[in-house]
Structure 1
Amino acid sequence: MPLELCQLALRQTLDLITLTDDTLRDLTRRKFSSDELYNEVLGKLLGGNGRRGPSGILIANEGPDATCCNGQVFHLRDERLLERSEAISIEPGSSYAGSLLLVEGGAEVVALNWNDVCANIGEFQSFFHPKVVEAMGEPILNFVSCRISGDVKGVIEAFNYQGRVTEYDADVLRSAAVMIGSLLTVSNGMRETEHAFTYTIQALARACEAAEPDTGRHIVRVNRYAGALAANMGFNNEFVNDMSISAQMHDVGKIRIPTEILLKEGRLTPREMKLIRQHPAYGSEIIGDSPRLRIAREIALSHHENWDGTGYPKRLRGERIPISGRIVKVADVYDALRSRRSYKGAMTHEEALHVFRNGDDRINPAAHFDPAVLAAFFRIEHMFEMIFDSSILKLGYDRAVTPADSK
Structure 2
Amino acid sequence: MSLELCEMSLKQTQDLLRLTDQTLQDICCKRFTSEELYVEVLGKVLGGKGRRGPSSIFLVFQEHDGSLCRGRVFHMKEGALVERSEEITFDPLSSYAVNLVHAQEQENVVVNWADRYESIEAFQDYFHPGVKGFVVSPITNFITCRISGETPGAIIAFNYPGRATNYDADVLRSMAVVIGSLLTLSDEVSATEKAFIYTIETLARACEAAEEDTGRHILRVNRYAGALAANMGLPIDFVETISYSAQMHDVGKIKVPTSILLKEGSLNDQEMEQIKMHPIYGEQILGDSPRLRIAREIAIAHHENWDGSGYPYQLKGENIPLAGRIAKLADVYDALRSKRSYKEPLSHEAALAIFRNGDSRVNPQAHFDPVLLETFFKIEHIFAKIYESFDQKLS
The change in CA–CA distance for 1:97 and 1:170 in structure 2 (over 3 A counts) is farther
CA separation in 1, counterparts of 2:185 and 2:154?
Answer: 19
AA in 1 matched with 2:236: N
User: For 1:101-138, what per-residue CA distance to the aligned partner results, in whole angstroms no more than 9, with x for missing partners?
Assistant: 33xxx321222333444555455445545654555333
The alpha-carbon deviation at position 65 of structure 1 amounts to: 4.5
Residue aligning to 2:103: 101
Residue aligning to 1:317: 316
Secondary structure at the residue paired with 1:111?
strand
Q: Which moved more, 1:62-71 or 1:387-396?
A: 62-71
User: For 1:324-353, what per-residue CA distance to the aligned partner results, in whole angstroms no more than 9, with x for missing partners?
Assistant: 000111111111122222222322222222
Residue aligning to 2:164: 165
AA in 2 matched with 1:149: S
Residue aligning to 2:213: 214
Structure 2 contact 225–243 (Cα < 8 Å) conserved: yes
The change in CA–CA distance for 1:91 and 1:219 in structure 2 (over 3 A counts) is same
CA separation in 1, counterparts of 2:153 and 2:313?
Answer: 56
Cα RMSD for the two superposed structures: 2.3
Residue aligning to 1:405: none
Q: What aligned pairs does 1:114-263 form with structure 2 within 5 A after superposition? A: 114-118=113-117, 120-122=119-121, 124-125=123-124, 127-129=126-128, 132-133=131-132, 135-263=134-262
CA separation in 1, counterparts of 2:132 and 2:385?
Answer: 49
Q: Give the share of equivalent positions with the same residue, in percent.
A: 58
Secondary structure at the residue paired with 1:234?
coil
Residue aligning to 1:37: 37
Is 1:19 aligned with 2:13? no
Residue aligning to 2:48: 48
AA in 1 matched with 2:372: V
User: For 1:32-53, what per-residue CA distance to the aligned partner results, in whole angstroms no more than 9, with x for missing partners?
Assistant: 4433322332222222222111
Residue aligning to 1:91: 93
Corresponding residue pairs, total = 393
Q: What aligned pairs does 1:287-298 form with structure 2 within 5 A after superposition? A: 287-298=286-297
Residue aligning to 2:70: 70
AA in 2 matched with 1:72: R
CA separation in 2, counterparts of 1:139 and 1:357?
Answer: 62
Structure 1 contact 97–128 (Cα < 8 Å) conserved: no
Structure 1 contact 93–99 (Cα < 8 Å) conserved: no
Residue aligning to 1:364: 363
TM-score by length of 2: 0.92
CA separation in 2, counterparts of 1:230 and 1:63?
Answer: 35
Structure 1 contact 113–143 (Cα < 8 Å) conserved: yes
Unaligned runs of at least 5 residues, structure 2: none
Q: Which moved more, 1:239-248 or 1:28-37?
A: 28-37
The change in CA–CA distance for 1:69 and 1:280 in structure 2 (over 3 A counts) is same
The change in CA–CA distance for 1:315 and 1:352 in structure 2 (over 3 A counts) is same
Secondary structure at the residue paired with 1:157?
strand
AA in 2 matched with 1:87: I
Structure 1 contact 69–91 (Cα < 8 Å) conserved: no
Structure 1 contact 95–129 (Cα < 8 Å) conserved: no
Residue aligning to 1:399: none
Structure 1 contact 74–85 (Cα < 8 Å) conserved: no
Q: Which moved more, 1:260-269 or 1:113-122?
A: 113-122
Secondary structure at the residue paired with 2:58?
strand
The change in CA–CA distance for 1:82 and 1:272 in structure 2 (over 3 A counts) is same
The alpha-carbon deviation at position 255 of structure 1 amounts to: 0.7
Q: Which moved more, 1:79-88 or 1:363-372?
A: 79-88
The change in CA–CA distance for 1:380 and 1:85 in structure 2 (over 3 A counts) is closer
